[in-house]
Amino acid sequence: MRVFVTGATGFIGSHTVPELLKAGHTVLGMSRSDEGAKALAAAGAQVHRGDIYDLDSIRKGAEQAEAVIHLAFNHDFSKFAENAETDRKVITTMGEVLKGSKRPMLITSGTGVIGVSKPGHVSTEEDRHPGSKAMARAASEEAADALAEQGVRVGVVRLPQVHNTQNKAGLVGPLVTLAKKAGVAVYVGDGSARWAAAHVSDVALLYRLAIEQCEAGARYNAVGEEGVSMKAIVETAAKGLGLPVKSITKDEAATYLGPFAMFATHDMPASSAKTQQRLGWTPKGPKLIEDMQQWDYSQF
């Protein structure tokens, strides 16, 4: 298939593109910069210039493709709700192009969409999102739901903390940056709150398998570890930064963590059992703590 990939030069995209190419697919990767375009061309992908704020470029990219993987998202948490609504527009725009065809589309959400609304519950693929009024990021899944009702073959990939040894791990990277700035690494209460995680190589494989087998309305949890405790994450980061560790109360979280407090105060484990069964996908990559122990903390 010729797959249009947004976010093709990002952390996950830069691993997903080679995975697709290796499997014999053609990739049309979106890039907003000359540097990104050169990286895509060097990898063997075709280049489509554009970004998520240019809906015309988004539309044209989808029109040229037999399948779509949507990875791009603005992760500026100071504008989280606004960015989620931008994502809704992007998904709707591409979905309009795919109406009346069997062409599959995967959009991206997060396991935290369920975890924030149901703390302590091991979220599964069957859990419904709480709606964008309760959790802004659910706007992406709402857009997917609307398209599925119109016959579009759209599936949702829910991401946990995606990591490798290059200082990347979803919310964990910014959490480390905050600790470095504050001079102390913190967790809430006894640190037992958990975040699901997965190695980026496993996630890239999942996107490839899911686009090949995409079922309309399906949710795929890209989870390798159901839950890694905040205490383990924070203590590992503190050791790497050479900082003390401190337990804080839930009321203090916003002071230390800002927008990330909404995640750090919730227990958000997630399962991928159904995803593994549906796709024949078995996560094999290193664990989150293993990768964190190899991070170059001077880069934060």
Q: Domains along the chain?
A: 2-162+197-225 (3.40.50.720), 167-196+226-270+285-299 (3.90.25)
Mean pLDDT computed over 49-70: 98
- Do 219 and 125 meet the contact criterion of CB atoms below 8 Å apart? yes
Q: What is the pLDDT of residues 143-198, one digit of tens each?
A: 999 999 999 999 999 999 999 999 888 899 999 999 999 999 999 999 999 999 99
pLDDT-based confidence at 46, cuts 50/70/90?
very high
100: left (phi over 0), alpha (psi -120 to 50) or beta: left
> What pLDDT sits at residue 285?
97
Residue 207 confidence (pLDDT) above 90: yes
pTM of the predicted protein model: 0.96
> What pLDDT sits at residue 201?
98
d(CA 107, CA 109): 7
Cβ neighbours of residue 105 closer than 8 Å, sequence gap 6 or more = 62, 67, 68, 69, 70, 94, 95, 98, 147, 152, 153, 154, 155, 214
> What pLDDT sits at residue 95?
98
> What pLDDT sits at residue 116?
86
> What pLDDT sits at residue 208?
98
> What pLDDT sits at residue 157?
98
> What pLDDT sits at residue 119?
87
Question: Picking from 143-147, 235-239, 253-257, which range would have the lowest pLDDT averaged per residue?
Answer: 253-257
> What pLDDT sits at residue 150?
96
d(CA 221, CA 223): 5
Q: What is the pLDDT of residues 127-137, one digit of tens each?
A: 999 999 989 99
DSSP assignment of 108-158: EEETHHHHTTSTT--B-TTPPP--TTT-GGGHHHHHHHHHHHTT--EEEEE
The rounded mean pLDDT for the chain is: 96
Q: What is the pLDDT of residues 75-108, one digit of tens each?
A: 888 899 999 999 999 999 999 999 999 999 999 9
In this prediction, what percent of the chain has a pLDDT beyond 90? 92
Torsion of CA 77, 145, 108, 88, to 10 degrees: -40
Residue 262 confidence (pLDDT) above 90: no
> What pLDDT sits at residue 228?
98
